[in-house]
Amino acid sequence: MSTSVPPSPRTRLRSLPRPAWLRSPEVLRTEVLAGLVVALALIPEAISFSIIAGVDPGVGLFASFTMAVVISIVGGRPAMISAATGAVALVVAPLVHDHGLGHLVAAVILGGLIQIVLGGVGVAGLMRFVPRSVMVGFVNALAILIFMAQVPELIDVPWVVYPLVAGALVLMVALPRLTTVVPAPLVSIIALTALTIGAGIAVPTVGDKGALPSALPVPGLPDVPFTLDTLKIIAPYALALALVGLMESLMTAKLVDDLTDTHSNKTRESIGQGIANVVTGFFGGMGGCAMIGQTMINVKNGARTRLSTFLAGAFLMVLCISFGPIVSDIPMAALVAVMVLVSFGTFDWHSIAPATLKRMPTGEITVMVVTVAAVVATDNLAIGVVLGTITAMVIFARRVAHLATVEPVLDPDGTRVVYTVTGELFFASSNDLVHQFDYAGDPDTVIIDLAAAHIWDASSVAALDAITTKYAARGKTAQITGLNHHSAKIHNSLTGELTGTH
């Protein structure tokens, strides 16, 4: 009898599928260059978010480094960029102002743990309830926010900034028509940096945003007392950080899914965001989540794998530590031009075309407008998504509520009437149900046929109980028939328990 020899670990390792960037030099080049462009764009943004949060620039840069590197390994959406974000900065700014950096770090760690728990219990599944109109509003609002974030960089600046931005835009639009070997944004950044340094043109630079770190972050525990009082202080901020971070990350993952025609593991992404925030906290970072603007840069430059995300974080630290003086001289005009182009490319122009608006239902347009207005008014993408989704639910409930109909048919002998109920019975549609029966004029026997209806909630059962009670008060018998399995189950368990009659 022959015995098979199990394959060695080396053999099993060789049999594993290799990443696309290892199989193709073209893919490797695309991923490396896209990661470099993202890293350059991350530096001023991370510094700006640090200022919003009230911490040193290094805290935001360290967060961007650890978030990108960790999420590239444990995340569920390849090519998506996670780093320090404005949404997280706005959440934690009051905590830093009142209690300092130590409490911020503790809140980031706790927020990461909450995200891990939420991811484990399946919160990512709630994304299926976000309608397309909310998604379109989210994308358009994002594009508007990206553009508006560049406006301060164009106010009270030397006049030469404007032709520099215009030149960079022309270069990024024209270059891809000639060659796509090197990303146009990277060429634009290098060209403007060389021009301003070589010609001695004095314009705002990355260095004006703050000092870059000169050493790698080291892990450590947050400098706070480990007491219940500390937990009470940081818990609300940690919960807000977790919810805002997950919402933005899951929305971004869904957007990248649509752009790349691929599917991502939202549960893994949710847990991965938590792990990345925990690691970031222990390294003294301010926390973060998916960055939609930088993700758009990455994806638009052709990146599709985890390598670009990892390299964005790695290049960020290398640029700051090894090439700090050079990076500090990059003109903000170059990065503003990159982000302006990203904002125009992100906006869904088809969604506001007259032909589209003419065909689109009014409710869908309303949801999109509410989402955009809420985001632009609050600078918070999460608030816009929540309000847009609630608006969509209300419109849907109102629309479906009118789909439940009641048709009475009187027997020829006049001794019995059959009411045929058609449609979905839930809290909105069942409210009008009670008023569609002729309690005084009907004969003594009433049949309520629900074969073409479906009971969804307790409100519907309560409405049916009220109907049978009204008939009983007049000495008449109302019988409910035709219930499907689910409807019968919920009706039998709740009938008589909601109106006080047994």
SS (H, E, C) 312-375: HHHHHHHHHHHCHHHHHCCEHHHHHHHHHHHHHHHCCHHHHCHHHHHHCCHHHHHHHHHHHHHH
Nearest to 464 by CA among 445, 444, 483: 483
Which pLDDT score, from 0 to 100, does residue 345 have? 80
Which pLDDT score, from 0 to 100, does residue 15 have? 57
Tokens, residue 207:
């260095």
**Residues in CB range of 420: below 8 A, 6 or more apart:** 406, 407, 408, 409, 449, 451, 452
* DSSP bridge pairs for 409: 418
- Distance CA(254)–CA(138), nearest Å, equals 11
Residue with tokens 């002729």: 438
* Angle 64-70-71 from CA coordinates, rounded to 5°: 85
- Distance CA(451)–CA(480), nearest Å, equals 10
- Distance CA(81)–CA(248), nearest Å, equals 12
- How many Cβ atoms are within 10 Å of 113's Cβ, its own excluded? 17
Which pLDDT score, from 0 to 100, does residue 502 have? 43
Q: What is the pLDDT along the chain (502 residues), one digit of tens a residue?
A: 455 566 666 665 555 567 776 678 888 999 999 999 899 888 888 887 887 788 888 899 999 999 999 999 999 999 999 999 877 887 888 899 899 999 999 999 999 999 999 999 988 887 777 788 888 888 888 788 878 888 888 999 999 999 999 999 999 899 888 877 777 888 888 899 999 999 999 999 888 877 778 888 889 999 999 999 999 999 989 988 998 899 889 989 988 998 888 999 999 999 999 999 999 999 999 999 998 888 988 998 889 999 999 999 999 999 888 888 888 888 989 888 888 887 888 788 988 999 888 888 888 999 999 999 998 888 777 788 889 989 998 888 787 767 788 999 998 888 899 999 998 898 888 878 888 999 999 999 999 999 999 999 998 999 999 999 999 999 999 999 999 999 999 999 888 876 554 4
What is the CB-side half-sphere exposure of residue 455 using CA atoms within 13 A? 29
**How much is the pTM?**
0.71
Which pLDDT score, from 0 to 100, does residue 25 have? 85
Nearest to 42 by CA among 21, 20, 69: 69
Question: What 3-state DSSP class applies to 254?
Answer: helix
Nearest to 208 by CA among 330, 113, 111, 319: 330
129-147 as b/e, with b when 16 or more CB fall inside 10 Å?
Answer: ebbebbbbbbbbbbbbbbb
| Radius of gyration, CA atoms only, the chain | 29
60-99 as b/e, with b when 16 or more CB fall inside 10 Å?
Answer: bbbbbbbbbbbbbebbbbbbbbbbbbbbbbbbbbebbeeb
What DSSP string runs through 426-481? STTTTTTGGGGS-TTTS-SEEEEEEEEEEE-SHHHHHHHHHHHHHHHHTT-EEEEE
- Distance CA(148)–CA(378), nearest Å, equals 13
Which pLDDT score, from 0 to 100, does residue 17 have? 66
